[in-house]
Each structure stands twice: as structure tokens, then as C-alpha cells.
Amino acid sequence: MLNRILLLLFLILPNTAPARIILIVGDSLSAAWGIPVEQGWVSLLQERLETGGYPYQVVNASISGDTTANARARLPRALDSHKPSVVLLELGGNDGLRGLSLAEMKSNLGAMISSAHEAGAKILLVGVQLPPNYGPRYTERFQAVYSELAREREVTLLPSLVDGIGTEQNLMQPDGIHPNSVAQPLIRDRVWKELEPLLD
């Protein structure tokens, strides 16, 4: 009789297992700078997970203006607090815009990948692009950091968050750096293509 009651309770009670965490560590491109937060691609990603029945909760630890050095310093605490299953790293834009050392940028991102791996998380590395006025030599070297890291660390790479978006005026905010709300579903879909295979 007791076994029958327990079985019935198991069948009728909702699944209360805690959701797995997707931790997003990025800059203004992921922090919905200049637009309502609910219109940003991160919020739209959470909606996609919920409608698809994926047992994941997105934690957005992105900070506008963040460099890879700042993010590296705060990542251990975020990993310890949230214990994510997946970590999405979208950083480097502010390093590039400030002309900071690309070697240090690569070292910082590499250290973050190592920390996330040691915490048991899968990694999605997301590249960004610099405006063309920084010159082809620097921008090519900048972009190469992401592909080198993905190859050396064997992590999934989305080469650019805004490829094909940054050159479309109707998809960008007046500053020419941040995508507007119209572009956010496109970014969400781009991220989803690489993220979905990492979800158990």
C-alpha cells in the first residue's frame, strides 16, 4: 500500500529537480546595453529554453565595459556561486577598443576556460569584431585570438556574435557598436546554433 502511494505521488507531483545553469560572462553586447533587458538576446535565450522544455536557467553575469582581466578576476566567485553546467564567454571587445595587449587578452580568456573546465562546465567561446577603423592588421590578429583558443583548448567557438549585423545600419544603435532590439533575435539564433549541442 505504501509503495502504491509513493508511486502515485511520483506520478502526480511536478518535477522539482533544480535547473541546470548556463552562466553568461560577457560585456555590453550581452548585458543589453541601450535597450530594455527583456529585449536582449540573453533574455530571449531564456525564453527559447523555457518554450523548448530545456531544464536550464540562464544567469547573466555580463557587465558593460568589462575587459577580459576584470572578468577573469570575478569568474571564480561566479563559478562557485552558480556551479554552471555551461559557461558562455563573450569578451574581448573592450580590450580591443582600448588597444590592450592581445597576448594578455588571450591569456585571460585561456585562464577563464581552464577555470570553467575545472569547475566541470562545458564552454562556448564567443568572438566579437572590432570596427574596421582599427586597421586590418590589428583586427585580424584580434579575431585570430578566438580561433587559436578554440583550437588549442578544444572548445566550441562561435566566431562572431555580430557578423553580418554590425554592417547593417538598421540593426545597430546610433553608436555603431551595439546592436539594437531588432538584431537581438538574430543574435539569439546564432548563439543557439552553437549552444544547443552542449545541452544534455
Residues carrying an active site annotation: 28, 175, 178
N residues, the chain? 200
Q: Which residues contact 5 (CB under 8 A, 6 or more apart)?
A: none
Strands 86-90 and 122-126: parallel
CB 124 within 8 A of CB 198: yes
E strands, 31-147, are 56-60, 86-90, 122-126
CB 165 within 8 A of CB 183: yes
Rounded to whole angstroms, how far apart are CA atoms 165 and 161? Answer: 9
Rounded to whole angstroms, how far apart are CA atoms 94 and 98? Answer: 6
Q: Is 6 left (phi over 0), alpha (psi -120 to 50) or beta?
A: alpha
